[in-house]
Amino acid sequence: MNNGYKALLSATLLANFGDNLIGPFYAIFVEKIGGSILDMGYSVTVFSICTGILMIIVGRVSDKINKELITIVGYALYALGSIFIYFYFK
């Protein structure tokens, strides 16, 4: 495995690890901003459905154009979204 793939795999593992650490506290966060546990369930469901649909769409697009570009754009959007959430709820 070349160094580029090792770096990409490491970045993905770290990002997913961080996301999964937030999971147990998500219910507390939703209640703190005025939502209920049912609202939390709805938000997780909508997120999961949208993620599944977008995986299919982006997968087909990446088959037609540069896969590396799609990966870079995906990580950039992920980083921007994380920064936005940090400053929005700070």
Phi and psi at 34, nearest 5°, equal 100, 5
Give me the helices (H) in 1-90, please: 3-32, 37-64, 67-88
pLDDT tens, 9-39?
888 788 778 777 777 888 888 888 898 889 8
What confidence tier does 53 reach under pLDDT thresholds 50, 70, 90? very high
What is the spatial distance between Cα 84 and Cα 45, in angstroms, rounded to a whole number? 22
Instruction: Determine the structural domain holding residue 74 and report its residue range.
Output: 3-88
Token pair 């939502």: residue: 35
Q: How many domains does the chain have?
A: 1
Asked if residues 70 and 57 have their Cβ atoms less than 8 Å apart, the reply is: no
What confidence tier does 83 reach under pLDDT thresholds 50, 70, 90? confident
Asked if residues 37 and 27 have their Cβ atoms less than 8 Å apart, the reply is: yes
- What pTM, to 2 d.p., does this model score? 0.63
